[in-house]
Amino acid sequence: MSSIESLNQLLSQAVENLELALEETMELKRNEKNSSIQIGKLGRSIGLIREFQSLIFKQHPELAPKSVVPDEEIPELNQEQKQAIASLTPEDIKRIDEELMSFATNRFQKVANIVGLFMLQSERHEPSIPDVFYGERIKILANAGLLESQGNLKFMRYSEVRIAKT
């Protein structure tokens, strides 16, 4: 195994460990104020490693992971969630989009991390509105050119975004 392959393997393991730590932190510490800081640090660490890996993949495309489309489906919205989303005004959606953008940085971050931080920290988050809605808003922002993306935006855990470079 070449040194580049070894480095890539170590980076992949580091990302997996950080993603697991991020998921566990989000589940265990939802009500603690400091948890959002830790979640943010984990998310930024993942983004930095992914950015470094992307440089390796550009020079050595054979090391890039094969594109994997997850088998999981996007969950169906229940009636309460549909009603909550339908009750949002265009102004509400604009403010949600602005706040989602405020969590984006110039480094790639998992969409799931941005959505999780929004749901933990934002006063605009309504418990009846699911994470899937916010993930869709990020997809819309990326399609509008406000965010750059990589991965499959259909799945929050398999995509990353950063503020679009102008």
Q: What is the pLDDT of residues 57-101, one digit of tens each?
A: 778 888 777 655 455 566 788 899 899 999 999 999 999 999 999
Confirm if 47 and 110 have CB atoms less than 8 A apart: yes
Q: What is the structure's pLDDT at 39?
A: 64
Instruction: Indicate the angle between helix axes 33-59 and 111-121, nearest 10 degrees.
Output: 170
CA dihedral sign, ordered 24, 30, 34, 39: positive
Q: What is the structure's pLDDT at 83?
A: 93
Question: Which of the following CATH numbers is that of domain 78-166: 1.10.260.40, 3.40.47.10, 1.10.4080.10, 1.10.10.10?
Answer: 1.10.10.10
Percent share of the chain, pLDDT over 70? 79
Q: At 56, give phi and psi (nearest 5°).
A: -65, -45
Strand 109-110 vs strand 159-163: parallel, antiparallel, or unpaired? Answer: antiparallel
Q: How is residue 112 written in tokens?
A: 């799931």
Q: What is the pLDDT of residues 129-165, one digit of tens each?
A: 989 999 999 999 999 999 999 988 888 888 899 999 8
